[in-house]
Structure 1
Amino acid sequence: MMWSKKQFRHQLNSEIPLSTPLDQLQLLVIDTETTGFAVGKQDRLIEVGAVPVAGLQVLEKNIFHSYVNPERDIPPEITSLTSIKQEDVVHAPASLEVINHVFAHAREYEVNAIAGHYLSFDLQVFKHELRRAALKFQQPPSVDTLDLLAYLVPAWEMKDLSYYAAVFETRMYNRHTAVGDALTAAYLFCELGERLKERGKTTWGDLLELSSSRQI
């Protein structure tokens, strides 16, 4: 007998006209920290940061942040990289609760899409955490700054987030922290949005066209 997973629905405000100007879009820029890169196997989510962006303006006063209990030990090299210790997560909520809070935050700001830098990884993290809770992830509309960079500077090789923040002279926050990277990515996205407008890419439809919309 086959069992089908119940679907986790993001319920974002994504049914908007393709002609909607970039200046009127609402996005939630997210970043995750994990115990490692094998998120489909043994590695787990340990931290989430999310920053709303409205009309290419970062809403710094409305940041979401939570540690997550990974139900496993955090490797020493991850603690060294992220400064997240076992005592930070041992009493933190489970991943399903935190992911629900992230999308509740998105709905509060009537978000049209999720955004981030190397967003495909963060969405993979959500997908596998929800799979462990017997839920199927419905991928939300998403915008990856890597896709925008591929259009704006196609000759460049893929670099670290801090490299792009330095080149485009946008604000840079603490690296390898979920809130710090989400804030850095949010300001980078806003700058890239302004560069897109200069190239005549001014609408929600244009943004979707530039986004590869990779299925996770």
Structure 2
Amino acid sequence: MKEPKGVGRMWSLYKMGGFTPAIASMLGSQNAQQMAFIRSVNKEQRKQSPLDMLLREMEFIVFDLETTGFYPSNGDEIISFGAVLMRGSEIYSSETFYSLVNPKRRIPRAIVELTGITNEMVEDAPDLMQVLHDFMEFVGKRPLVAHASGHDKQFLNAALWRTSKVNLNHRVLDTMMVAKWLEPKRDSYALDDLLEDSGITITQRHHALEDSLMTAELWQVYLRRIFERNINTLGDLYAYLSQR
């Protein structure tokens, strides 16, 4: 997707001296403030090293995205964000985030059928910059958890770069990778199969918030198994996962 007119000049100005009045006038003051916030969160994240933190005490954001397709480089866009807060193995279902996004393109029929998100539903939804700002505000400095996270990270990185010229610095734990470590001989690591085998009720699949809540329950199950192996810190967990 082409950058909006003036973006190249804007970034030249940014590198020369930050958010000048010229940049604010190009973007609009609200967008400039949102971009500044996203960049600030990302910068602070680089300073944080949570590897020594105890998993039992850590806060995580379990999240999911729905998109118009699989390839942001081909013009596919995010159409919804969903997320829920966890502290240790406790799910805070009252502390959630959900928003539709106006992708500024047509949603393919197959995606409408899969997600239930129609073109009419996103017509008046906020744009990507607004929702990305609100999502990053909800996430803060917390590590992220997702299932088959490659897809979500790809779109999140593309969104962050396009709107704010930053890459995702947050650590992302993948419940699929954890499942492969805990159960290396499984035939399937699809979310539906893992949920069913873990005794987790499947509610509404391909809804960003519902998928986040179900993935949080799966992460809850896996954390208990991780603790049984005397793995206590995020660094310990990464060390075990890296052996795969």
1:78-97 equivalences under 5 Å are 78-97=111-130
- The amino acid that maps onto 1:122 is D
Q: Secondary structure at the match of 1:43?
A: coil
Amino acid at match of 2:57: Q
1:46 to 2:76 alignment: no
Report the residue type matching 1:132 in the other structure: R
3-state DSSP class of the match of 2:144? Answer: strand
TM-superposed CA distance for 1:16, in Å, is 5.3
Deviant stretches of 4+, over 4 Å: 3-7
In structure 2, the partner of 1:185 is 215
DSSP-derived class of the 2:64 partner: strand
* Whole-angstrom CA distance in 2 between matches of 1:210 and 1:166: 25
- Does structure 1 conserve the Cα–Cα contact (< 8 Å) formed by 2:143 and 2:171? yes
Change (3 A) 1:91 1:156: same
How far 1:115 sits from its partner (Å)? 0.6
Q: Describe the shift of the 1:17–1:79 C-alpha distance in structure 2 as closer, same or farther (beyond 3 A).
A: closer
CA distance in 2, matches of 1:89, 1:176: 16
**Given residue 34 of structure 1, which amino acid in structure 2 is its aligned partner?**
T
SS of match in other structure, 1:61 = strand
Q: Is structure 2 residue 135 aligned with structure 1 residue 102?
A: yes
- TM-score, normalised to structure 1, is 0.87
Provide closer, same or farther for how the CA distance between residues 75 and 184 of structure 1 changes in structure 2, counting only shifts above 3 A.
same
The answer to whether structure 1 residue 143 and structure 2 residue 173 are counterparts is yes
- Counterpart contact for 1:143–1:207, Cα < 8 Å: no
What's the CA shift string for 1:25-65, capped at 9, x where partnerless? Answer: 10000100001112221211000001111111111001100
* Structure 1 CA distance for aligned equivalents of residues 120 and 193 of structure 2: 32
SS at match of 2:72: coil
Query: Which structure would you say has the larger Rg?
Result: 2
Task: Please list every run of 5 or more consecutive structure 2 residues that lacks an aligned counterpart in the other structure.
Answer: 1-7, 16-37
Q: Give the number of the structure with larger relative contact order, counting CA–CA contacts within 8 Å between residues 6 or more apart.
A: 1
Query: Residue 83 of structure 2 contacts residue 96 of structure 2 at CA under 8 Å; is this kept in 1?
Result: yes
The alignment partner of 1:24 has SS state of coil
Cα contact 2:180–2:189 (8 A) shared by 1: no
Q: Which residue of 2 aligns with 1:208?
A: 238
Taking only the aligned residue pairs, the percentage that are identical comes to: 29
Distance 1:100 1:157, change over 3 A: farther
One-letter amino acid of the counterpart of residue 58, structure 1? I
AA in 1 matched with 2:142: N
> How far off its partner does 1:134 sit?
5.2
CA distance in 1, matches of 2:193, 2:181: 17
1:68 maps to which of 101, 105, 108 = 101
CA distance in 2 between partners of 1:194 and 1:86 (Å): 41
Q: CA deviation at 1:14?
A: 7.7
Aligned residues: 209
> Are the structure 2 counterparts of residues 26 and 211 from structure 1 closer, same or farther at C-alpha, using a change threshold of 3 Å?
farther
Moved more, 67-76 or 93-102: 93-102
Q: Does 1:24 align with 2:57?
A: yes
TM-score of the pair, normalised by structure 2: 0.77
Which residue number in structure 2 is paired with residue 35 of structure 1? 68
Query: Structure 1's 96 and 179: CA in aligned 2 closer, same or farther, altered over 3 A?
Result: same
Structure 1 unaligned segments of length 5 or more: list them. Answer: none
* 1:118 aligned to which of 148, 159, 162: 148
For residues 115-147 of structure 1, the C-alpha deviation after alignment (integer angstroms, 9 at most, x for no partner) is 110112111111112333251213311111012
